[in-house]
Amino acid sequence: MISEKIENLLNEQIQKEFYSAYLYMSFEAYFANRNLNGFAHWFRVQAMEERDHALIFFNYIHQVGGRVKLQTIAAPEWEFQSIEEVLTRQVEHERLVTASIYNIADQSIQERDHKTSSFIKWFIDEQAEEEANAEQNLSKIKLVGENDGRGILMLDTEMGARIYTVAAPLSANNQA
């Protein structure tokens, strides 16, 4: 059994992960409207990964005898001025998610909840990767610039090659 505080933090994280998926679908729509289908695809895959993260938290809460309490998902922003703005917002958003994950980790350590401490480690590692990917994408668009059509098309092709894979904790339990 987990504490009420940990249960609440995990339920809040489910909401944050579903919001992330929703936000990244908004980014996908922005890029699709600009006919940048590679960027759109990259964010579609990212949205699917965020949905997977929410499901991992969902499954964990049940596994440890907690109760899932789904929360309202706010509408994401959908008006953007540039590719760089979208990619900057992704970096900022991933940093917020990382802080939330760290909060769960800190609380689990404080409570000596070793199950949750072990569980959350996968997300700490995942967030390091998420932030690095977001920062790399932002760095590339800054390098190319918004006015270099060839460079943007090259990045669009690169981003379109991304492949979705089921998150390890879901595939390991056949719960995708």
Determine contact, residues 88/140, Cβ cutoff 8 Å. Answer: no
Cα 84 to Cα 1, 5, 68, 103, 140, distances in angstroms: 44, 38, 36, 29, 10
Token readout for 33 is 């409207």
Residue pLDDT, tens place only, 43-79: 999 999 999 999 999 999 999 999 999 999 999 999 9
Residue pLDDT, tens place only, 142-175: 999 988 899 999 999 999 999 998 888 887 655 5
- 25 in a structural domain: yes
- 93 in a structural domain: yes
- 119 in a structural domain: yes
The domain that contains 96 carries what CATH number? 1.20.1260.10
Give the number of domains in the chain.
1
Residue 167: the pLDDT is 85
Cβ neighbours of 51 (radius 10 Å): 18
CA separation for the pair 165, 163 (Å, rounded): 6
- 124 in a structural domain: yes
Confidence of residue 104 (pLDDT cuts 50, 70, 90): very high
Determine contact, residues 109/117, Cβ cutoff 8 Å. Answer: yes
User: Which structural domain range is residue 14 located in?
Assistant: 4-167
Mean pLDDT of the chain: 95
CB within 8 A of 33, min separation 6: which ones?
A: none
